[in-house]
Structure 1
């Protein structure tokens, strides 16, 4: 059986452009599916790993390229001497909050609101009694701002200590500071022994982020549209007598 097709030039051109767009969107969603699947696997490996028990352990894990986002950690350290407390503006559920960060060696800690205070104008007040304690929390990985985000985000004001993203300008720490990771400090304990800190980190609930992965459905949707477009294209030619067997 031989198929003969006499394409309609104008319709063929339109369909060709639409096919390129639909297939490109499907391929993009396939790439997003691969990336999201890998990300979820990394997060799962991180949250199920044994808690870190020192900043040195964390630094070694980062240098080794291990997944650390949302990993539990307990460490004993005083804030780096002379370092300021940075107040970072954020909004949540209609309210305005100020996240407080302070440097611990090459890492920054973000204090839970239970452990810190901030005035309404954003002026940071030193977190209470955070001296030589065991600090327990979750490691977080922050991502640099993209070009568009950099244009849209409000610019920091060093004089009033107003910031709009973690380490927004890269000026918070010394050159040896790790500025892509910080620790969400959830609780603190009086420093007794390292074992107590390790036990506290182990008792901390596993924290899994809610990350949707619908890219397989999106991919199949775009490829289905492309297939339907081809079917409609052939049906139109069949009705017009331009497609015969």
Structure 2
């Protein structure tokens, strides 16, 4: 008994190309699954950790590789005066609004703090910041790259649809103490001064990559089985004496 196999040329080429594509997509989803699972674990570690109490503690955590995104924090600082806050688009159900980002200095370090959003009609009333001491509580948020599909910012109108200190706001990094090393901002919660009272804030991130991976690999298996069946039915695949 020996295996007899006489493939259809066109069908074989189509199947091979399709299998390469399907397996590549499945492998990509597997890699995405690994990355997102690790990221969500880091977020959970940061969310459930005790609140941070200074900018120095945030930087120490970053240097040691400890996750800080979505960590709670409270600290005393001073708003740096004489600056125009960046106005970043904020999603609101009822009306267009903008969130002021102001520079805050604390123990020789600087960070941007996102304050209470203002309605678009009041945007023109936000002028330069006044130097004043503040106590802030909120969440540490790492800078994120601009998402696809986000409108382009218009700096001359102070309309920002994403907020990343490099390169759009590089001038801030050179003008505030310690600004060159800023990699995060503080998502403040108005009216809260004690971080222990803040609820745990978890991002709503879906992790369906395992299902996607099985889908692509499953399609590859089905395609290969159909390929074999077609050859068996036409007598092109089987054992002969």
2:161 aligned residue: 164
47 and 130 in structure 1: CA distance in 2 versus 1, 3 angstrom threshold: farther
The residue matched to 1:109 in structure 2 has which SS?
strand
48 and 85 in structure 1: CA distance in 2 versus 1, 3 angstrom threshold: same
1:227 aligns with 2:221: yes
The residue matched to 1:174 in structure 2 has which SS?
helix
Q: Distance between the aligned counterparts of 2:230 and 2:205, measured in 1?
A: 43
CA displacement, residues 33-68 of structure 1 (integer Å, 9 cap, x when unaligned): 000000100000000111001122122222333211
| RMSD, aligned CA | 2.5
Q: Distance between the aligned counterparts of 1:172 and 1:57, measured in 2?
A: 25
1:71 aligns with 2:81: no
- Kept after mapping to 1: 8 A contact 2:102/2:129: no
- Pick which of 165-174 and 61-70 moved more: 165-174
Question: Post-superposition, which runs of at least 4 consecutive aligned residues in structure 1 deviate over 2 A?
Answer: 62-65, 81-84, 89-95, 121-133, 155-158
- Kept after mapping to 1: 8 A contact 2:84/2:129: no
Q: Aligned match of 1:110 in 111, 114, 127?
A: 114
- Pick which of 95-104 and 40-49 moved more: 95-104
Pairs within 5 Å for 1:73-152: 73-93=73-93, 95-105=95-105, 106-113=110-117, 117-120=118-121, 122-123=123-124, 125=126, 131-145=132-146
64 and 80 in structure 1: CA distance in 2 versus 1, 3 angstrom threshold: farther
2:25 aligned residue: 25
CA displacement, residues 140-170 of structure 1 (integer Å, 9 cap, x when unaligned): 1121237x66xx6323223x32222113613
Q: Which runs of 5+ in 2 are unaligned?
A: none
1:193 aligned residue: none
Q: Distance between the aligned counterparts of 1:171 and 1:156, measured in 2?
A: 15
CA displacement, residues 186-220 of structure 1 (integer Å, 9 cap, x when unaligned): 0346xxxxxxx6xx111211111111111001001
CA displacement, residues 86-144 of structure 1 (integer Å, 9 cap, x when unaligned): 1112444463110110011321000133xxx4551633537999942321101111212
- Kept after mapping to 1: 8 A contact 2:115/2:187: yes
Q: Distance between the aligned counterparts of 2:93 and 2:152, measured in 1?
A: 20
- Kept after mapping to 1: 8 A contact 2:54/2:74: yes
- Kept after mapping to 1: 8 A contact 2:43/2:202: yes
Q: Which runs of 5+ in 1 are unaligned?
A: 190-196
Pairs within 5 Å for 1:203-222: 203-222=197-216
Q: Distance between the aligned counterparts of 2:191 and 2:94, measured in 1?
A: 29
